[in-house]
Amino acid sequence: MSYQGFEELDVWKKAREVKKEIFELVKSFPNEEKFRLADQLVRSIRSVPAQISEGHGRRTFPDRLRFSIIARGSLSESLNHLIDAFDCNYISDEQLSLYRVKINEVERILNGYISYLEKNSKK
């Protein structure tokens, strides 16, 4: 079996796509939010692919699992920040729904990856 780099993981690719979209979204936030909500949202969504890649670099299934669970937490945090943005009228209901779908898709793929890691951690 050849080594697969983290850039080849579907979950990392999808998390990266969502991260890039959110980077563009926060540009529309008011200037006073640059170092508050926008910064928190960027940090949390940036953490998702970063945690996946860090765990993957550790190359043991338990480490990959631990970092993937942290990534899932960051994904939930990102959705919470998007809800905050909606509550502050920085994004529309349609935008929130769109990002919720995208985050749920990443979560679904990530949960599959976590299940795979859980099975292999016990071997």
What residue type is 84 in one-letter code? D
Task: Report the length, in residues, of the chain.
Answer: 123
What domains appear along the chain, each with residue ranges and CATH number? 7-121 (1.20.1440.60)
Tell me how crowded residue 110 is: count the other CB atoms within 10 A of its CB: 24
What is the average per-residue pLDDT within 98-115? 98
Contact 106, 75 (CB under 8 A): yes
Under 8 Å between Cβ of 111 and 72: yes
Report the chain's mean pLDDT, rounded to a whole number. Answer: 95
pLDDT tens-digit readout, 31-87: 999 999 999 999 999 999 999 999 999 879 999 999 999 999 999 999 999 999 999
